[in-house]
């Protein structure tokens, strides 16, 4: 009888030990899975700023650029986008030129046409192959001339880099600095070309945010980099709005994030002063914004604390 009880007792202890081991193992695995999932969310939203671009986003497309390295440039879209033989759309890396309707659009487009149209160019890949619009991302060379660099040297485009595509960053940023200091080209000269309005199109009308009313300089949002630290009025189109998990609103200008050239920020503590859902209300509208330009993560921005800082075009 004693032997039977002893065996039974050992069996119970063994069973309890196995059950405890299973429970502990399950807990450990659960914790590991939780932290793995938490850390694998890719892009993290920050308190001030949108997606942390230092963390690479997971690939969402398997599209590849099939344009050959040596190819004929057949069409100029604008100062930073071309079409090459075979119909491939190519976005020049490291620069940003004005869109249609902005002062330096014509100058940059015509100069790029002079440099490479109907000529064989070399397309040099950096790290990223295509962008969200499925355009080939390339540095463009004519013989040994870096066309991206040339447009910045001539003051027709600005330097614009996004990680991890920074191969010629030092040269292009240096060229931009020299162009700014010497007031070279359309981007940096004191006189800007006048934009001719299309027939039947009404020009923008402003009542409050004008130089006459405020005494402040008016600049295009994509030229705001040269005004960091100054109080000015910036003008441009808000193409998308975003509200973070901390209820901070970001209004991105000219191109969607992360290719925007300027951002306006409304912190949650000030949103009660503005219209409901400003991220939706202002999206798609051309506006002027008044304030001191700051730099955040390499991009110019203005913090909006009051609705009097923003005016929608009439």
Give CA–CA dist 47/55, Å, rounded.
16
Annotated catalytic residue 99: yes
| Catalytic, out of 99, 154, 301, 311 | 99
Q: Render the burial of 94-126: b for 16+ CB within 10 Å, e for the rest.
A: bbbbbbeebbbbbbbbebbeebbeeeebbbebb
CB neighbour list of residue 276: distance below 8 Å, 6 or more residues apart: none
| Catalytic, out of 111, 135, 138, 288 | 135
Annotated catalytic residue 91: yes
Annotated catalytic residue 288: no
Q: Which of 156, 90, 159 is nearest to 125 (CA)?
A: 90
- The upper half-sphere exposure of residue 148, i.e. CA atoms within 13 Å in the direction of its Cβ, equals 29
Q: Which of 233, 221, 229 is nearest to 295 (CA)?
A: 229
106 membership: H or E segment, kind and range? helix 105-116
Catalytic residues: 91, 99, 135
């Amino acid at each position: 009888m004693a032997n039977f009880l002893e065996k039974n007792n050992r069996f119970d202890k063994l069973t309890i030990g196995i059950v405890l081991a299973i429970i502990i193992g399950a807990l450990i695995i659960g914790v590991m899975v939780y932290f793995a999932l938490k850390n694998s969310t890719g892009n993290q939203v920050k308190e001030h700023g949108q997606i942390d671009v230092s963390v690479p986003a997971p690939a969402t497309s398997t599209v590849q650029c099939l344009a050959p390295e040596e190819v004929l440039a057949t069409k100029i879209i604008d100062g930073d986008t071309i079409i090459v033989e075979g119909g491939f759309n190519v976005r020049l890396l490291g620069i940003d030129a004005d869109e249609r309707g902005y002062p330096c659009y014509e100058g940059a487009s015509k100069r790029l046409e002079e440099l490479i149209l109907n000529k064989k160019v070399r397309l040099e890949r950096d790290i990223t192959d295509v962008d969200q619009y499925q355009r080939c991302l390339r540095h463009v060379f004519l013989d040994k001339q870096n066309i991206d660099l040339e447009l910045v040297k001539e003051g027709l485009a600005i330097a614009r880099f996004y990680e991890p595509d920074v191969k010629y960053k030092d040269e292009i940023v240096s060229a931009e600095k020299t162009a700014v200091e010497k007031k070279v080209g359309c981007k940096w000269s004191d006189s800007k070309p006048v934009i001719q309005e299309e027939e039947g199109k009404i020009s923008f009308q402003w009542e409050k945010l004008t130089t006459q009313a405020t005494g402040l300089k008016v600049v295009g949002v994509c030229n705001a980099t040269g005004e960091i630290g100054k109080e000015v009025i910036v003008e441009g189109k808000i193409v998308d709005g975003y509200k973070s998990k901390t209820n901070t609103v970001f209004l991105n200008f000219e191109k969607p994030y992360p290719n925007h050239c300027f951002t306006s920020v409304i912190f949650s503590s000030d949103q009660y002063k503005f219209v409901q859902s400003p991220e939706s209300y202002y999206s798609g509208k051309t506006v002027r914004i008044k304030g001191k330009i700051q730099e955040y993560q390499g991009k110019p921005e203005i913090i909006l604390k009051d609705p009097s800082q923003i005016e929608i075009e009439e």
